[in-house]
């Protein structure tokens, strides 16, 4: 019996959660429809400066005149009716997943094309590759059309959507022009892969990947200045290395392919010094410059003592570039990622607080409907007659309350056992009945139970 009660309470809580989610979605859709209605009304005016925050009677639209026909098309009645029908399809998670799979298939075909076909060779490109790419192009056009219908002209204001538009329509533009540079086609196709970011952002299963990408994007400025700092460090040490190694007397008679000749110009010295940042054969360079026995060719006609203390200079550069700057960049990126996680948690907490506030407001309205005599308290008779009021009945059903359970719920909500309850008891009790049990709520219930000492 206890398991049946627990199962029933769980079902009621799930029903309430779903009803609240549906209510929030309906509220968002209603706001969006109101915004579209206001936008459609603004299109009938002559002036063109509109602010959605403006609630005055006169509403104007802030768009260039050359875009106005596009707005008129997007927000007429027929288009808006079609948008309402397509919105559940386009905004479904599976639609984003299907779009992402199409992009990944496109990327795989691009990889196969690069592997099996040489643009400069005499063998023609396989027909099936062009056929697959045109099928994918058409599917992208269909997706773009659906998203444009649902999002309207405002959808094109986002940078990601503009890039997606270019990636969708550019292949047809290139086909109309004829032969174009192959690298341009590849770049345009690669733009489509950026569309995957949209799916990663919206699908909960990709939250970790999105946090990593967010940390990378947030660190773009840091990466730029870090690369600039690294380049400056390499240039500074390369200038010193040219004088210290490239033109040192110890290497005067060395052949042209010897290691010291890598330091005779700024460009070659910078490439050589950059090897110390990744330890790419750095020890071989150091050993040759120091002329250690195992690095010296005994048959060389140009014996030299080398530069025994050059390791101090080279290791100083390696310590600065590899162990300080690169690790500092890693630390900054990790710090940015942690900040993004903290902001995400703060946003979730704010959303939960806002949801709780809305729920309290709804419960206050519900209490006012229950309080038929306006006394500020609801007794058993008023609570039992709740289902006789249609508006109140609908609210109670949304909360998962059934008529046969009202008396049992009333006893649970009446914390002081007075036979009536105030608005505070009601607003605090309903969430506790349908929410998750916490240690605090269990302790409070235990203290209220008979026989507690």
φ, ψ for residue 256, nearest 5 deg: -65, -25
Angle at which helices 423-434 and 2-42 cross, to 10°: 110
Q: Are residues 52 and 91 in the same domain?
A: no
Q: Are residues 42 and 87 in the same domain?
A: no
The reply to whether 158 falls in a domain is: yes
Q: Are residues 198 and 87 in the same domain?
A: yes
pLDDT of 238: 92
What is the CATH number for 413? Answer: 1.10.238.10
Q: Are residues 281 and 380 in the same domain?
A: no
Q: Are residues 224 and 197 in the same domain?
A: no
The reply to whether 262 falls in a domain is: yes
The reply to whether 277 falls in a domain is: yes
What is the per-residue DSSP string for 325-353?
IHHHHHHHHHHHHHHHHHHHHHHHHHHHH
What is the per-residue DSSP string for 117-144?
--TTSSSPPPHHHHHHHHHHHHHHHHHH
Number of domains in the chain: 4
What is the pTM for the complete model shown?
0.50
d(CA 216, CA 204): 19
What is the CATH number for 91? Answer: 1.20.120.350
Angle at which helices 93-116 and 182-193 cross, to 10°: 150
Confirm if 114 and 181 have CB atoms less than 8 A apart. no
Q: Are residues 90 and 28 in the same domain?
A: no
Parent domain of 332: 220-338
Q: Are residues 104 and 197 in the same domain?
A: yes
User: What is the residue-level pLDDT of the chain in tens, covering all 453 positions?
Assistant: 445 544 554 555 455 555 545 555 555 555 665 665 555 555 454 443 434 444 443 344 455 555 555 555 555 566 667 777 888 888 787 888 888 888 888 888 888 888 888 777 777 888 888 898 889 888 888 988 888 888 776 777 777 778 788 888 887 777 776 655 566 666 666 666 666 766 676 666 677 777 777 777 777 788 888 889 889 999 999 999 998 988 888 887 777 778 888 888 899 999 999 888 887 888 888 888 887 765 666 666 665 677 888 889 999 998 888 888 888 888 877 777 777 777 777 777 777 777 777 777 776 777 777 777 777 777 767 766 666 666 666 666 665 566 666 556 666 666 666 667 776 666 666 665 555 545 555 555 555 545 444
The reply to whether 3 falls in a domain is: yes
The reply to whether 380 falls in a domain is: yes
The reply to whether 327 falls in a domain is: yes
pLDDT of 290: 83
pLDDT of 211: 72
CA dihedral 435, 441, 444, 450 (to 10 degrees): 60
* Contact residues for 70 (Cβ-Cβ < 8 A; gap 6+): 153
Q: Are residues 195 and 290 in the same domain?
A: no
Q: Are residues 84 and 195 in the same domain?
A: yes
φ, ψ for residue 284, nearest 5 deg: -65, -40
Q: How many CA atoms lie within 13 A of 129 on its CB side?
A: 14
The reply to whether 208 falls in a domain is: no
Among candidate residues 16, 31, 62, the one where a domain is terminated: 62
Q: Are residues 189 and 129 in the same domain?
A: yes
Q: Are residues 331 and 411 in the same domain?
A: no
Among candidate residues 202, 237, 260, the one where a domain is terminated: 202
Among candidate residues 202, 229, 260, the one where a domain is terminated: 202
Confirm if 232 and 133 have CB atoms less than 8 A apart. no
Q: Are residues 240 and 312 in the same domain?
A: yes
The reply to whether 72 falls in a domain is: no
SS3 420: strand
Confirm if 201 and 210 have CB atoms less than 8 A apart. yes
What is the CATH number for 270? Answer: 1.10.287.70
């Amino acid at each position: 019996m206890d398991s049946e009660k627990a199962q029933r309470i769980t079902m009621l809580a799930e029903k309430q959660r779903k009803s609240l989610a549906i209510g929030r979605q309906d509220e968002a859709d209603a706001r969006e429809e109101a915004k579209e209605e206001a936008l459609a009304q603004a299109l009938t005016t002559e002036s063109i400066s509109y602010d959605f925050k403006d609630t005055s009677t006169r509403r104007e639209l802030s768009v260039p005149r050359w875009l106005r026909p596009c707005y008129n098309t997007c927000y007429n009645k027929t288009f808006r009716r079609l948008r309402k029908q397509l919105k559940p399809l386009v905004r479904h998670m599976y639609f984003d997943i299907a779009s992402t799979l199409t992009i990944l298939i496109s990327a795989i075909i691009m990889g196969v094309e690069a592997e099996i076909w040489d643009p400069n060779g005499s063998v023609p490109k396989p027909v099936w590759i062009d056929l697959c790419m045109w099928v994918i192009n058409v599917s992208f056009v269909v997706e773009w059309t659906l998203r444009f219908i649902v999002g309207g002209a405002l959808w094109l204001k986002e940078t990601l959507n503009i890039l997606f538009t270019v990636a969708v329509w550019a292949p047809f533009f290139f086909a109309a022009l004829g032969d174009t540079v192959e690298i341009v086609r590849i770049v345009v196709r690669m733009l489509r892969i950026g569309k995957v970011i949209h799916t990663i952002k919206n699908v909960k299963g990709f939250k970790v990947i999105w946090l990593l990408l967010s940390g990378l994007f947030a660190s773009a400025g840091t990466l730029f200045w870090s690369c600039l700092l690294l380049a400056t460090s390499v240039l500074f040490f390369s200038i010193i290395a040219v004088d210290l190694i490239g033109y040192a007397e110890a290497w005067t008679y060395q052949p042209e392919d010897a290691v010291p000749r890598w330091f005779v110009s700024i460009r070659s010295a910078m490439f050589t010094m950059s090897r110390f940042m990744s330890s790419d054969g750095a020890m071989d360079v150091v050993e040759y410059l120091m002329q250690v026995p195992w690095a010296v060719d005994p048959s060389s006609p140009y014996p030299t003592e080398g530069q025994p203390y050059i390791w101090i200079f080279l290791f100083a550069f390696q310590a600065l570039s590899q162990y300080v700057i690169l690790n500092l960049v890693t630390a900054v990126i990790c710090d940015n990622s942690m900040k993004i996680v903290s902001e995400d948690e703060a946003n979730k907490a704010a959303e939960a607080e806002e949801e709780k506030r809305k729920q309290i407001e709804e419960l206050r309205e519900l209490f006012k409907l229950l309080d038929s005599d306006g006394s500020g308290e609801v007794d058993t008779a008023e609570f039992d007659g709740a289902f006789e009021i249609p508006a109140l009945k609908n609210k109670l059903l949304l909360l998962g309350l059934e008529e046969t359970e009202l008396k049992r719920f009333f006893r649970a909500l009446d914390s002081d056992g007075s036979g009536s309850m105030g608005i505070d008891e009601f607003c605090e009790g309903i969430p506790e009945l349908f929410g998750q049990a916490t240690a605090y709520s269990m302790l409070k219930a235990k203290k209220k139970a008979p026989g507690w000492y």
